[in-house]
């Protein structure tokens, strides 16, 4: 699971517990000017992932780390698809973050409020 917060002008994503190991990353910091929006999207877990490098993909168990699909990089950290939030980015290393969070609606509201 990921913990998402707004810290000044940045979106900060912190991987919790063993997710740091599976995702090969402990945290991400994205300037809010590069965040385009966020949506709760449980169906995203069924989408193609692409090539994992580095990361972990055990279908039905966990998808975590950096995945390359159609020339784009997407960061995943999902075990429970029902708690998935997708954060769209611009001018960043990743085009989107696909994250499992404790409360998807609250996380989307946090991000969208920070954008407005």
58-79 confidence digits (pLDDT tens): 888 999 999 999 999 999 999 9
- The predicted model gives 16-38 an average pLDDT of 94
When the pLDDT of each residue in the chain is averaged and rounded to a whole number, the result is 94
Collapsing DSSP to helix, strand or coil, 31 comes out as strand
Q: Is the pLDDT of residue 48 over 90?
A: no
What span, in angstroms and rounded, lies between the C-alpha atoms of 25 and 42? 23
Strand segments, DSSP code E, in the chain are 2-7, 10-15, 27-31, 35-40, 51-58, 62-69, 72-78, 84-89, 96-100
CA 71/CA 20 separation, integer angstroms: 25
> What predicted TM-score, i.e. pTM, was given to this entire model?
0.94
pLDDT tens digits, 77-115 = 999 999 999 999 999 999 999 999 999 999 999 999 999
């Amino acid at each position: 699971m990921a913990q998402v917060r707004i810290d000044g002008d940045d979106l900060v994503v912190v991987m919790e517990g063993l997710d740091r190991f599976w995702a090969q990353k402990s945290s991400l910091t994205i300037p809010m000017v590069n965040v385009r929006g966020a949506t709760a999207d449980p169906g995203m877990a069924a989408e193609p992932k692409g090539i994992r490098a580095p990361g972990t993909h055990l279908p039905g168990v966990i998808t975590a780390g950096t995945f390359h699909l159609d020339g784009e990089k997407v960061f995943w950290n999902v075990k429970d698809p029902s708690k998935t939030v997708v954060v769209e980015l611009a001018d960043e290393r990743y085009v989107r973050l696909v994250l499992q969070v404790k409360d998807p609606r609250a996380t989307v509201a946090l991000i969208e409020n920070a954008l407005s």
